[in-house]
Structure 1
Amino acid sequence: MSIGEHNDVISQTVNKMGMCILNRPKALNSLSFSMMRKLHPQLLKWENDPAISFVVLKGAGKAFCAGGDIKALTQTPEGINFFKEEYPLDYTIGTYKKPFISLITGITMGGGFGLSVHGKYRVASEKTMFAMPETSIGLVPDVGGGYVLPRLQGKLGIYLGLTGFRLKGRDVHLAGIATHFVDSNKVSTLEEELAALDNPDHNNIQNLLDQFHKESTKESHEFILEPKMEDINRSFSATTVEQIFTNLEKDGSEWALKQLETLKKMSPTSMKITLRQLKEGANLSLKECFYMENRLCQRCIEDHDLREGVRAVLIDKDQNPQWKPARLEDVTDERVDYYFSKLPDDRELVMQD
């Protein structure tokens, strides 16, 4: 066990509330094997403990969770098994029998999305920053992104999954990622009042969250992408990434050309896999999406682009990844099919209901 791993997840109970705190603030609470191996059994224990009525998950410092520890994942032999441990944890949250509240009141990306969005309640604040930036490092928006993103309004999920666009504050709620918005200076009071509930069932928890949300959203706020939703729906409704590029080129507006510039920086392979992932995920169950995404991410670990993306963005930080293939037209349908193909039995995902 590395220094600091012994307290990278802090679990505590207050009255009928179980609380887990992700406690790697210097690493923006990036999710590690050590954290998953503490968090998952604790959640299962509380789910079956009659003394615990609901669970709260939050992060220490300025992040909820900035994602999986991708650098470690690509640099250790054990990395190939990361997703096989991460997805069952996320699925436990998605099927939790008790109210599950994630306080995503800080940076929430990638793996942090998986730890929160499948739960019953997700509370954002003005300090929340949400994104799924996986195509910029040669990965795909996994952790159930294939289930959640296609179910957002219009083609918003495809737009977010391909571009990695960052949503902040109230826009995280308006997009449908968070269920509630609470001012950051009221979050600690919310925690105290949740812990003090005499009968913390779904109704009473919902009512308390609604009350805090109402107090924090008295002033109207237009969703930041609302003025562009018609453009997003038109350009990102295409069946291929090439057609999305063509749509944006034909649009020709400053906004469209900016999106095109962003997409041209992403891994061509990742974008093609992501578009298919989100289209297929729209018709799959959450569990089926996890099975699909395990295959996609394990293939990514074997491939060039993820290692190169991690090098360019997280290690050397030159922000200049050399993708292979470098052109969309060189990513064949057969290559994309390979990512979705069956893995050897010992690498396929196994999950219990």
Structure 2
Amino acid sequence: MDFGGGDEIRFERLGRAGVVTLTRPQALNAVTHRMIKALGKALRSWERDEGVDVVVVKAEGRAFSAGGDILHIYEAGRAGNPPVEFFADEYRLNAYIARFKKPYVALIDGIVMGGGVGISFHGSHRVMTENAQFAMPEVGIGFFPDVGASHLLPDLGGSFGMYLALTGNRIRYGDALWSGLATHTIKAEDQASFLDRLALTGDPESVLRGFFVSAKRETDRPILEAISRHFAQPSLPDLIDSLDRAGNDEFATGTLATIRTRSPTSLRVAWRQISAGQTLSMDDCMRMEFRILNRMLAGHDFYEGIRAAIIDKGSKPQWRPAAIDAVSEADVEAYFAPLGDRELEL
């Protein structure tokens, strides 16, 4: 089936299932504009198709999707043509997946980050194997946790979502299951059988009952309690002060060291974004994120972060401002200001 994705994304009808496969394994299935548009077309077609009971999204290779194609974004932005329309279409797709009327099963066997999260974790069933790893590492490249993270992360108990947003740390499938990010976990070796059964029945709930294997949480209770205590502080400076006052506590020391490597602007924006998302609908979260995005693409830290991570691999980014207390409330407020006639239309 051809929805315009070329060799980057494949669409098939297998029995009662519409199956999407990301086919850029050499690029860790980084999401492109072409893939976004093709997936949107497929979903609209399959939502109307009475022969399709369930949609499955999976990927080739060792990663589900390591995010968006940030090198392309960097080059376009540096050339004075930041790809705002790519993000607009991506955010519209994220919002559409969240309200998709049929079961939407993301089968995640490998790394899932950034843009990969946007096309998987807003669906009804997030199924992870023991090979899966989840992260939203954007603050480490001067960006912010987008693709609906402001809707997804606040729902996690014990301030775990704020912890993931501000550190960018990776978690495995057990933490994802117990935090609520994943809805089910299965064995990697069972994926083909799971897909065959799903194609036959079109009923993910009944099929998952036969394949579900519970995963233990990887993060132990004392660390979860520390996350809840520190990341529930009423402001970002209070959070940093809380970690700092913990003294020689290994978790607090390591977490504070991680946070201090992140973009101060990104941290301040992410703090407010995740806090605000607690009371916003998915659509309103996407509108908020689009406002932030436009300011990030016009700023300094995003391009500096990609330069340090991708262009001059391993170099230290020079953030502007370089300290959290140098980012004013007015600076943060500007990221959330209305865009006038450029607001995201959903």
The alignment's TM-score, normalised by the length of structure 2, stands at 0.95
1:343 matched to which residue of 2?
339
Report how many residues are paired: 338
1:248 corresponds to: 243
Alignment deviations for residues 180-236 of structure 1 (CA, whole Å, 9 cap, x no partner): 001100111101111111xx2xxx4212112211xx23xx72341533121111111
Residues 41/115 of structure 1: CA separation in 2 closer, same or farther (3 Å cut): same
Q: Distance in 2 between matches of 1:44 and 1:320?
A: 44
Assess if the C-alpha contact under 8 Å between 1:240 and 1:272 holds in 2.
no
**Matches of 1:259 and 1:243, distance apart in 2:** 14
Deviations 1:295-334 (A, max 9, x none): 1111111100000001111221124110000011110000
Percent of aligned positions with the same letter in both sequences? 38
Matches within 5 A, 1:1-353: 6-76=6-76, 77=81, 79-197=83-201, 200=202, 204-213=203-212, 216-217=213-214, 221-252=216-247, 253-345=249-341, 347-351=342-346
Contact 2:244 2:256 in 1 (8 A): yes
Would the aligned equivalents of 2:264 and 2:322 in 1 still touch at CA under 8 Å? Answer: yes
**5+ long unaligned stretches in structure 1:** none
Deviation per CA, 1:257-284: give whole Å up to 9, x if none.
0000000000000000000001110000
Segments of structure 2 that go 5 or more residues without pairing to the other structure are: none
In structure 2, relative to structure 1, the CA distance for the partners of 1:225 and 1:117 (3 Å cut) is farther
Letter in 2 for 1:26: Q
Contact 1:22 1:29 in 2 (8 A): yes
* Cα contact 1:248–1:256 (8 A) shared by 2: yes
Measure, in 1, the Cα distance between the counterparts of 2:110 and 2:209: 20
Task: Tell me if the contact between 1:8 and 1:24 (Cα under 8 Å) persists in the aligned partners.
Answer: yes
Q: Distance in 2 between matches of 1:20 and 1:49?
A: 15
220-229 vs 248-257, greater mean Cα deviation:
220-229
SS at match of 1:206: helix
Counterparts of 1:325 and 1:271, CA distance in 2: 12
Distance 1:225 1:304, change over 3 A: farther
> Within 2, Cα distance between the matches of 1:193 and 1:165?
34
Q: Distance in 2 between matches of 1:29 and 1:332?
A: 37
Q: Is contact 1:125-1:170 (8 Å) kept?
A: no
Deviation at 1:179, TM superposition (A): 0.5
Residue identity matched to 2:160: L
Q: Secondary structure of 1:243's partner?
A: helix
> RMSD value over aligned CA atoms?
1.4
Q: Which runs of 4+ in 1 moved over 6 A?
A: none
- Please report how far the alpha carbon of residue 169 of structure 1 lies from its aligned counterpart in structure 2 after TM superposition: 2.7
Counterpart contact for 2:264–2:321, Cα < 8 Å: yes
SS of the equivalent of 2:112 reads: strand
TM-score by length of 1: 0.93
Output the CA distance in 2 between the equivalents of 1:106 and 1:21.
14
Question: How far off its partner does 1:82 sit?
Answer: 2.0
